[in-house]
Amino acid sequence: MVTFTIEDHEGNRQEVEAPDDMGLSLMEILKASEYPVLATCGGMALCATCHVEILEGGADDLGEATDVELDQLENLPEYFPTSRLACQVRISPDLEGAVIKLRGEDN
Ligand code: FES
């Protein structure tokens, strides 16, 4: 299991624990934890509603956003150097201790 922190749209932080051996995406864990992530495209890197910003930790190890992610992120009104699409981030030990802020639309 890995433990990381999610900051919601109101700035509230909560630790989330997730299995790192099931090939799940961060988006799937956010939805399972009942965060307001629309994920309209179902994780195909097409909708960008799963936009998150990696505030602390993890960013280096998680690597850069892929080209397909960047295409989506660049279409957003606002994105950040450590923005990612949560559906393209696999739950792995690299996420241990990371702080992740929800940035996608929640309605
Ligand atoms: S769920 Fe649509 S881009 Fe991630």
Within-domain flag for 30? yes
Would you say residue 40 lies in a domain? yes
Return the CATH number at 29: 3.10.20.30
Atom index in ligand 1 nearest the CA of residue 48 equals 3
Beta strands 99-102 and 51-56 are antiparallel
- Whole-angstrom Cα distance, residue 16 to residue 41? 24
**Residue 74 forms part of a structural domain:** yes
As a whole number of angstroms, the distance between CA 83 and CA 73 comes to 8
Q: How far, in Å, from the CA of 35 to the mean position of ligand 1?
A: 14
In a domain, 107, yes or no: no
Separation of alpha carbons 107 and 94, rounded Å: 30
Range of the structural domain that residue 53 is part of: 2-102
The pLDDT tens digits for 57-79 are 864 667 678 899 999 999 999 99
Give the tens place of pLDDT for each residue, 21-61: 999 999 999 999 999 999 999 999 999 999 999 999 864 66
What stretch of H or E contains 101? strand 99-102
Please tell me the total count of domains within the chain: 1
Ligand 1 atom with the shortest distance to the CA of 85:
4
pTM of structure: 0.92
| Residue 48, in any domain of the structure | yes
